[in-house]
Amino acid sequence: ALLRLAELHRDASSGRHLEMLRYQAVETQSESLTLRQLFASKELRKQLVVAIFIQLSMQLSGIDAIFYYSTSVFRSMGVEDPQLASTALGLTNVLMTLVAIALMDKAGRRSLLLFSWSGMCLCYALLTVAHLCSPAEGQTPVWVQNLAIVSMAGVVATFAVGPGCVAWFVIAEIFPTHAKDALLNLGVSLNWIANWIVAFTFPFVQQWLGRYTFVMFMASTGGFGIFTLCCVPETKSRVLQELTREFQRC
């Protein structure tokens, strides 16, 4: 098998690929973990923290508030056609998802996540500026309307490039096969719970914070970026054994 791999790859990586195949063969014979066993596993504890963080960060980044309430936000900013602006956000999401698919294996998962959190944080800051410059009464200046549209489109675009596309890949790549069923159940549950929390509470938060509503998401995306920089490994072109050893060293 090693000779065959050497013929296929013609470099020093053949031994690494053989090691990966042996590891996967052992994994397929292991029984799937239950959710309780997943939480009890000391070997997977750090990976579990990262996975929970990624799942929660996707929703707590405020992306659902943008999608669900974009029309009302645009209307409050005095945008002339809030429905058209909201439709533009949906198109932006589709187009940037296609871009993310093309970039994912070139730029790396961690790099895209860092780019996304930085971009979203900046766009939320610009959206806050637009809110602060919007008059309480009278016609909203055109530049303020345009800034609101561009900043919200920027939030959607940068989210689509990172968490919207690569987050599930990162989670799948840091866990062994026998843990993925329990992880999938946990991830979907956390995702929907966080989705509901943001969707339900955003109108109340908007009423409470007013023009400073999006400062909350600016802070959360900034925090997610710091966590990603410190705790999330790059998984592109790396086998599970390497990632496991990296988590053990942390």
**Residue 166 and residue 135 in one domain:** yes
Pick from 23-32, 141-150, 155-164, 176-185: least confident:
23-32
Same structural domain, 120 and 10: no
- The rounded mean pLDDT for the chain is 84
Q: Which pLDDT value is given to residue 76?
A: 83
- 74 SS3 class: helix
pLDDT for 161 beyond 50: yes
Task: Tell me the per-residue pLDDT of 116-127, one tens digit each, with 9 for 90 and over.
Answer: 999 999 999 999
Q: Which amino acid is at 92?
A: T
Helix, strand, coil % in the chain, rounded to nearest 5 = 80, 0, 20
Same domain, 104 and 202: yes
Same domain, 49 and 158: yes
Same structural domain for residues 121 and 16? Answer: no
Q: What is the pLDDT of residue 19?
A: 53
At 221 the pLDDT is: 95
Same domain flag for 27 and 83: no
Average pLDDT over residues 235-245: 84
The model carries a pTM of 0.82
Up-side HSE of residue 114: CA atoms within 13 Å toward CB? 14
State how far the Cα of 76 lies from the Cα of 47, in Å rounded to an integer: 42
Averaged pLDDT, 140-163: 91
Phi-psi category of residue 49: left, alpha or beta, with phi > 0 → left and psi -120 to 50 → alpha:
alpha
Indicate whether 23 and 102 sit together in one domain: no
**Across 112-126, 130-144, 180-194, least confident range:** 130-144
Is residue 128 within 8 A of residue 221, CB to CB? The reply is: no
- For residue 15, pLDDT over 60 is answered with no
| Residue 59 pLDDT > 60 | yes
User: Could you tell me if 2 and 79 lie in one domain?
Assistant: no
**CA neighbor of 122 nearest in space, from 77, 157, 95, 98:** 157
- Residue 189, domain extent: 40-249
Domain harbouring 68, CATH code: 1.20.1250.20
Average pLDDT of the segment spanning 67-74: 90
Residues 181 and 113 reside in one and the same domain: yes
Mean pLDDT across the stretch 220-248? 88
Looking at the structure, tell me whether residues 218 and 123 fall in a common domain: yes
The pLDDT assigned to 25 comes to 45
Question: Do 114 and 229 fall within a single domain?
Answer: yes
Domain count, the chain: 2
Tell me, yes or no, whether 14 and 121 share the same domain.
no
- Contact (CB, 8 A) for 119 and 136: no
